[in-house]
């Protein structure tokens, strides 16, 4: 999608007629879902969508005798959706639609009354029209069966209807069309209530369990309704009942500020065996541990014991808790400090009480707040700091709110012996940012606030996902993140000599001709390359520089960046290749990052890739090989994009000869995923449409497994090896 060059990329459209309340993610083994191609590499991200509906009478339990049992109010309905990737690589929210076991095609909804028999799961006990059934399509999207799926074996939403009525996004069927997955009643419109979600693998079945804990998004309006309870949702595409929900019977599940499930870092502990929840009364919090039952999570919606961790002075983390599986620890971000919890003492047979005695939060570093914002939250209750996993082992990234935008601020590397005893920090920034509210809807009467959750993703779109209440997903790519010291800065206006001298650039145009471009020396000496050039070489005395390796148009774009720190977001791939060559030559990380972001957007767009000339792709791949140090992820992303969207390039003699002449190893790495036996001529590079998505994901997965490289900012030596960083 088109977006300004300094704004994070919008990669998923909004959810129609609904408000996204919370998101969560979980890493699952391949056997959990039947359609492995859709989940070959992209993380399993789930979102809770709410719809508010006004009613004349609503029944709410109340201890106040002055309140009526029935009064006007509203009902908040909820559904669970998943973020999926389509055949064209675009992301979208969709229902849990299974595939036919015979023909592997997506199932469709059963719409005719004659074919809609009683629910094969509850046998109609939940009422007529309460359950939603799927059947295999044959010939058209409106066909109800291919003849190979019996009515008694149809997958169903037992007791609820899908949000999109079981259709795929391409069918453009939006909104709710039946009973929701769950619903909550409210008496007052001002009761601003959301959910905090945590996802884990089911202990009793092959599926996913999502636990929802109610929380107030305003400290001035706490949750008052006694009917608000935590909800457990079980999703399993391998069972006949696709999704179900139950209310958890806990009595203190209100005002939860953070929730996370423990993973199996040692592979001895079942995933999600323990759930950690933090309740807060303001600035301090209390962490409780609940042990999950090893039975079916939907039919037995309760804990197998729970206990509080005795941790004096524990701060409130406000959803800013992540798990580092490689270190077997949690990392929590408080408004002014960073904390860790060592989980190495966890054992499968431990009770919640015995585990609580062995765990505690430990502060590892202080985080000073900017003087302009002394409070821990920004306007609207949004946290001033956000926490996410880093790219490397033991790394976390802290994002900072600067006015109305969010940028990465600090990379923290945590040591593992013992966990949190020492940390190393590196200050970060980025060439793109995320807006707290949607710019086009800032003044509209619709929910557009950013959610306080950041999800780390790997692979072709490696970076960080941010979500707003509209359901839009914003991607801050790894390529946009740089060291804070490498960011573009304005010239030093107090250097009179540098600001008075004019540098002449003689740009060669061919046949011995050249074109002149002029720039103040003070605009150039900010950059290390030109500072050394004018200090110790003849260019400093003559104030003239000869440019022979780039054309005039590209050099003009470079001069535009030198003066204002921005580049045109509409540049084509050919021009970006030349600009990246300049950025690599002049050692300009900020300039190179801006070009890489625009290049990555083109590589991810199938329509734009189809328009690219073969020679441009060859030049880009050759540059990526030469610039492997400054652009370590570019080569893999180019090969991935060529394999997925431009397979015809592997049959083009000109493309193959240019790559082979440059570096035969690059050509071997490019063709190895599609020709493992060296028989390239027998590989079908343009499969039929229904198999294209599966083939593309398989090629993409192979490319990243063999050629994954960390971004430059995550592999640098930490600049501050202490437990405190200055503002």
Please provide the DSSP assignment of 306-341 as one string. Answer: EEE---TTPBP-TT-EEEETTTTEEEEE-SSEEEEE
Phi, psi of 398 (to 5 degrees): -105, 125
Rg of the chain taking only CA atoms, in angstroms? 28
Q: Which single residue is written with the structure tokens 């046998």?
A: 123
Residue 691: the pLDDT is 47
Residue 239 lies in a domain: no
Q: Give the span between the Cα atoms of 455 and 15, in whole angstroms.
A: 19
- Say if 109 falls within a structural domain: no
Average pLDDT, rounded, for the chain? 78
Does pLDDT of 77 surpass 50?
Answer: yes
Average pLDDT of span 383-407: 90
Q: Residue 438: which of 401, 474, 403 has the closest Cα?
A: 474
Q: Which two tokens stand for residue 648?
A: 């015809």
Higher pLDDT, 691 or 411: 411
CB 213 within 8 A of CB 195: yes
For the chain, give the percent of residues with pLDDT over 90: 21
**Which helix (H) or strand (E) segment is 274 a member of?**
strand 274-280
Going by C-alpha positions, the residue among 94, 389, 353 that lies closest to residue 263 is: 389
Asked if residue 48 has pLDDT above 90, the reply is: yes
Q: Is residue 708 part of a domain?
A: no
pLDDT tier at 716, thresholds 50, 70, 90? low
Instruction: Examine the pLDDT at 713 and tell me if it is beyond 50.
Output: yes
| Confidence bin at 371 (pLDDT 50/70/90) | very low
Q: Do the domain assignments include residue 408? A: yes
Digit-coded pLDDT (tens) for 404-425: 889 999 999 998 778 878 889 9
Mean pLDDT value of segment 375-382: 61
Residue 280 tokens read as: 């807060």
Q: For residue 230, what pLDDT is reported?
A: 84
The sign one gets for the Cα dihedral 570, 576, 582, 587 is positive
Rounded CA gap, 499 and 320, in Å?
A: 46
Q: Is 500 helix (H, G, I), strand (E, B) or coil?
A: helix
Q: Give the max Cα distance, the chain.
A: 94
Lowest mean pLDDT across 117-131, 218-232, 237-251, 481-495: 218-232
With respect to residue 362, please indicate whether it lies within any of the assigned structural domains: yes
Distance CA 616, CA 573 (A): 7
Domain of 345?
317-438+446-477
CA distance 171 to 600: 29
The answer as to whether 236 is a domain residue is no
Q: What is the pLDDT of residue 345?
A: 84
pLDDT value for 643 = 87
Maximum average pLDDT range among 88-97, 199-208, 645-654, 668-677: 645-654
DSSP H helices in 334-488: 352-356
Answer whether 468's CB lies under 8 Å from 499's CB. no
pLDDT tens, residue by residue, 577-635: 999 999 999 999 999 999 999 999 999 888 899 999 999 999 999 999 888 888 888 98
Q: What is the total residue count of the chain?
A: 727
SS3 sequence of 521-583? HHHHCCCHHHHHHHHHCHHHHHCEEEECCCCHHHHHHHHHHHHHCCCCCCCCHHHHHHHHHHH
Please answer whether residues 398 and 387 qualify as being in contact, where contact means their C-beta atoms are separated by less than 8 angstroms: yes
In the structure encoding, which two tokens stand for residue 360, read together? 């505690």
Residue whose structure tokens are 């941790």: 311
Question: pTM (2 decimals)?
Answer: 0.87
Question: 3-class SS at 410?
Answer: strand
The candidate with the shortest Cα–Cα distance to 508, out of 556, 554, 548, is 548
Alpha helices in 479-527 (DSSP H): 496-500, 521-524
Token look-up 């929802």 returns 212
Q: Which residues of 623-660 are buried (b: 16+ CB within 10 A; e: fewer)?
A: bbbebeebbbbbbbbbbbbbbbbbbebbeeeebbebbe
The domain total for the chain is 1
Is the model more confident about 445 or about 526?
Answer: 526
Backbone angles phi, psi at 611, to 5 degrees: -90, -10
Give the residue from 344, 357, 424 showing the smallest Cα distance to 390: 424
Within a domain: 462: yes
pLDDT (average), residues 700-709: 55
> DSSP labels for 681-698?
GG--SS--HHHHHHHHHH
For the chain, first and last CA: distance in Å? 36
Does residue 195 belong to any structural domain of this protein? no
pLDDT in tens, 506-556: 988 877 788 999 998 888 888 989 988 888 788 888 888 888 888 899 999
pLDDT at 396 over 90: yes
Q: What band does 169 get if pLDDT is binned at 50, 70 and 90?
A: low
**667-676 mean pLDDT:** 75
């Amino acid at each position: 999608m088109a977006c300004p060059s300094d704004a994070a990329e919008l990669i998923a459209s909004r959810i129609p007629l609904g408000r996204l309340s919370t998101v969560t993610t979980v890493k699952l083994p391949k056997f959990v879902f039947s359609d492995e191609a859709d989940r070959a590499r992209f993380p399993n991200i789930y979102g809770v969508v709410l719809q508010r509906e006004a009613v004349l009478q609503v029944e709410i339990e109340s201890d106040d005798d002055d309140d009526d049992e029935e009064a006007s109010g509203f009902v908040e309905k909820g559904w669970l959706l998943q973020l999926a990737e389509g055949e064209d690589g675009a992301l979208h929210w969709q229902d849990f639609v299974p595939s036919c076991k015979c023909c592997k095609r997506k199932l469709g909804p059963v719409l005719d009354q004659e074919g809609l028999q009683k629910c094969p799961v509850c046998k109609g006990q939940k009422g007529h029209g309460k359950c939603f059934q799927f059947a295999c399509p044959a010939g058209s999207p409106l066909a109800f069966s291919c003849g190979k799926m019996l009515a008694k074996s149809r997958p169903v939403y037992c007791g609820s209807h899908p949000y999109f009525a079981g259709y795929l996004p391409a069918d453009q069927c939006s909104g709710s069309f039946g009973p929701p997955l769950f619903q909550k009643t409210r008496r007052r419109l001002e009761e601003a209530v959301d959910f905090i979600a945590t996802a884990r693998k089911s202990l009793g079945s092959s599926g996913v369990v999502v636990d929802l804990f109610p929380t107030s998004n305003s400290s001035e309006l706490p949750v008052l309704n006694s009917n608000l309870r935590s909800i457990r949702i079980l999703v399993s595409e391998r069972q006949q009942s696709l999704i179900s929900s139950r209310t958890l019977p806990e009595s203190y599940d209100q005002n939860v500020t953070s929730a996370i499930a423990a993973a199996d870092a040692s592979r001895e502990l079942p995933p999600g065996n323990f759930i950690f929840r933090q309740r807060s009364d303001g600035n301090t919090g209390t962490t409780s541990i609940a042990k999950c039952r090893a039975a079916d999570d939907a039919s037995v919606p309760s804990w197998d014991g729970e206990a509080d961790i005795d941790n004096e002075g524990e701060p409130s983390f406000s959803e800013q808790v992540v798990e580092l599986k490689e270190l077997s620890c949690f990392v929590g971000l408080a408004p002014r400090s960073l904390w860790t919890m060592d989980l190495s003492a966890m054992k499968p047979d431990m009770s919640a009480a015995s585990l609580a005695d062995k765990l505690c939060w430990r502060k590892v570093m202080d985080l000073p707040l900017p003087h302009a914002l002394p409070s821990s939250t920004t306007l609207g209750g949004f946290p001033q700091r956000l926490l996410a996993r880093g790219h490397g082992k033991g790394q976390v990234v802290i994002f900072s709110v600067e006015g109305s935008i969010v940028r990465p601020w600090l990379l923290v590397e945590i040591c593992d012996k013992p966990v949190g005893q020492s940390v190393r920090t590196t200050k970060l920034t980025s060439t793109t940012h995320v807006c707290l509210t949607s710019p086009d809807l800032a003044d509209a009467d619709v929910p557009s606030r950013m959610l306080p959750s950041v999800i780390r993703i790997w692979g072709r779109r490696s970076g960080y996902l941010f979500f707003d209440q509209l359901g839009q997903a914003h991607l801050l790519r790894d390529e946009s993140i740089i060291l804070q010291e490498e960011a573009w800065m304005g010239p030093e206006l107090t250097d009179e000599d540098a600001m008075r001298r004019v540098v002449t650039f003689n740009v060669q145009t061919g046949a011995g001709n050249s074109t002149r471009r002029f720039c103040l020396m003070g605009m150039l000496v900010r950059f290390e390359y030109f500072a050394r050039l004018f200090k110790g070489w003849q260019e400093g005395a003559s104030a003239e520089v000869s440019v022979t390796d780039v054309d005039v148009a590209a050099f003009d774009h470079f001069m535009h960046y030198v003066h204002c720190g921005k580049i045109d977001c509409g540049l084509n791939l050919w021009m970006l290749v030349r600009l990246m060559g300049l950025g690599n030559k002049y050692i300009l990380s900020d300039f190179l990052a801006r070009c890489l972001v625009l290049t990555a957007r083109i590589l991810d767009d199938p329509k734009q890739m189809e328009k690219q000339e073969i020679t441009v792709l060859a030049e880009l791949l050759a540059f990526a090989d030469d610039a492997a140090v400054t652009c370590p992820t570019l080569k893999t992303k180019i090969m991935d994009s060529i394999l997925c969207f431009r397979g015809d390039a592997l049959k083009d003699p000109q493309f193959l000869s240019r790559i082979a002449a440059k570096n035969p190893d690059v050509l071997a790495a490019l063709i190895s995923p599609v020709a493992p036996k060296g028989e390239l001529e027998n590989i079908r590079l343009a499969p039929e449409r229904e198999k294209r998505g599966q083939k593309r994901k398989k090629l993409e997965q192979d490319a990243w497994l063999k050629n994954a490289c960390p971004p430059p900012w995550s592999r640098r030596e930490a600049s501050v090896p202490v437990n405190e960083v200055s503002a």
